[in-house]
Chains A and B, each alone.
Chain A
Amino acid sequence: MSLSTMLSTMAAGMLRTCGIFILTLAGSLPLGMIVALLRKSHFPVVRLLTRAYISVIRGTPLMLQLLVWYFGPYYLFGLSIRGWRFPALIIGFVLNYAAYFAEIYRGGIESIPVGQYEACEVLGYSKSQTFMRIILPQVIKRIMPSVTNEVITLVKDTSLAFTLAYQEVFSLAKQISASQTSFTPFVIAGVFYFLANYVVAFVMERIEKALDYYR
């Protein structure tokens, strides 16, 4: 295999990696906020369920969760799982990361001094105005470092898609390495991951900078 073929094949795999990455973030960042809010729900049942969800997700390996999401429909309900591979993969990643983001959000929300809520109450803000205008912007600033950590972990975690034989860049690296009896694909994959994380770190730094106008 020529180096250019290897690069283009793996670049296609990197696109799939980016696909997992972006879809996971697009799903889990908002879902995590919903979970964080449900965890503070007035209904004990809802609180209990969200806590159970978070503890199961955080207490089991992502690889196992991916297998459950993919094979579960068949083994539990006898449903056909044709065409289910990619959706199962994204569901697995989104639900996993949403649990971690939910805990980050919760920590962020709880770190906002109660005086901020009281000031809002006295000024007549509604609950949703209080959250959207006053609390959330401050939460976002406070959680940025933890979120950056998670996002960088996600870039590397996408390689777990090999569990469901989704040909993202790391699966391809393994396969091409086997067929070419060479380590070069792993080096290329490493460079791809590094570049991806470089971009991620750059973007996150810009966001953090943009939020640096106050303390």
Chain B
Amino acid sequence: MKKVYLALAAGMVIGVAALTGCSSESSAPATTAAPAATEAPTEAATEAATEAATEAAAEAPAEEETFVFKHGFDLDYPPYSYIDDNGQTGGFDVELAQAVCDYYGWEYEAVPFNWDAKDAELNAGSCDCIWSGFTVNGREDDYLWSKAYSDNTQLIMVKKDSGIETLADLEGKAVGVQTSTSAYDLLNDEEGQAALCSTFGSLEVYETYTIAFNDLKAGAIDAIAIDVTSGTFLMSGEEDYEFLDEELGSEQYAIGFRKGDTELCDKINAALDALVADGTYDAIGKKYPEIYDFLCLN
């Protein structure tokens, strides 16, 4: 009998230890973003930002507390928002959002969310915006949009020696795409590329492009429909893959706000202008060569 009590007691001790130990653990994900936030842009940019911030502060009604800007994004979307090589939250969108916060003297709060729950998160107010390589096209009326800060096109990625050279060659082939992406939407849109899609032998829908890419490598599929930035990111360091020249479609990325949040949207637009003017936007962009060519504000 003693043994039973011993076992029970041990269980309880572990439980209590966990209760006390894990309360400190739970705050960890929020703080992981902090080191990336401190990565300062160029000195000049900072100076300009501070100047602009003082101006803005003078104009704005005196705020009692520092505004906390809650940046909602998906960590699955490199290189816009992802886990960087140091294991920290990073990406072009994250850095740009942090620069906006620095510009206004706001506190930055990273709110990584599950992409499928993005609307619920935004509406419930756990984040202030969806800013995560977020495609405007097809969603024009669903959100209040900032100005577009990046272009993107949807392309077909194939193996170099596959013999597929035009969209027409895809007839009867197996094509992969990631679920909930604009490439996926495009292939299912009657006004988009649904007609082309119907010529495919099959359309394989993946949870992530990483898995799709592995299937392409393994020969399980013949091509991947993907936006150019994600595709370039996937192909970096790989020799044997290329895009077809023909585009499937093009799109723009912007920041989505709750309808009615015009004040915040205007402020972000103004900050983007300032960050473009002082070179911060370009400087951040240069850190992400895969997407630099598609940035549309510089």
Contact = CB atoms under 8 A, between A and B. Distances in A.
A and B touch in the complex (CB under 8 A): yes
Interface of A: 1-2, 5-6, 8-9, 12, 15-16, 18-19, 22-23, 25-26, 29, 67, 71, 74-75, 80-82, 84-86, 137, 140, 162-167, 171-172, 174-179, 181-183, 207, 210-211, 213
A81 B124 contact: yes
B25 A85 contact: no
Contact of B87 (A1, A81, A211): A1
A178 B208 contact: yes
Nearest to A27: B15
Nearest to A10: B87
Nearest to A1: B85
Contacts of B257: none
Interface string B3-32: 110110001001110110110011011001
A175 B6 CA distance: 41
Interface stretch (B49-57, B110-118, B142-150, B260-268): B110-118
B86 interface: yes
A164 B124 CA distance: 13
List the 3 shortest-distance A-B pairs measured between CB atoms, nearest first.
Answer: A26-B15, A9-B87, A22-B18
Contact of A82 (B126, B210, B236): B126
Contacts of A86: 26
A78 to B, nearest CB: 10
B112 A165 contact: yes
Contacts of A16: 25-26, 28-29
B106 interface: no
B210 A165 contact: no
Interface residues of B, number: 47
A213 B3 contact: yes
B4 A140 contact: yes
Nearest to A209: B3
Nearest to B126: A81
B3 A210 contact: yes
A214 to B, nearest CB: 10
Contacts of B214: 183
B126 A85 contact: yes
Among A18, A178, A183, chain B packs the most CB atoms within 10 A around the CB of: A178
B114 A164 contact: yes
Contacts, number: 120
Interface of B: 1, 3-4, 6-7, 11, 14-16, 18-19, 21-22, 25-26, 28-29, 32, 75-79, 82-87, 111-114, 117, 120, 123-126, 208-210, 213-214, 233-234, 236
B126 to A, nearest CB: 5
B3 A211 contact: yes
A207 B10 CA distance: 11
Contacts of B16: 26
Contacts of B124: 71, 74-75, 81
Contacts of B22: 19, 22-23
A168 to B, nearest CB: 10
B204 to A, nearest CB: 17
B151 to A, nearest CB: 21
Contacts of B11: 25, 29
Among B6, B86, B117, B234, chain A packs the most CB atoms within 10 A around the CB of: B117
Nearest to B21: A19
Given A74-B124, A178-B208, A182-B210, A210 B7 contact: yes
A30 to B, nearest CB: 9
Contacts of A5: 85-87
A206 to B, nearest CB: 8
Given A75-B124, A163-B114, A210-B6, A175 B82 contact: yes
B208 A174 contact: yes
Nearest to B2: A210
A133 to B, nearest CB: 9
Given A15-B25, A16-B26, 14 more contacts: A5-B87, A22-B18, A23-B22, A26-B19, A71-B117, A163-B117, A166-B29, A167-B112, A175-B82, A178-B78, A179-B82, A179-B83, A181-B213, A213-B3
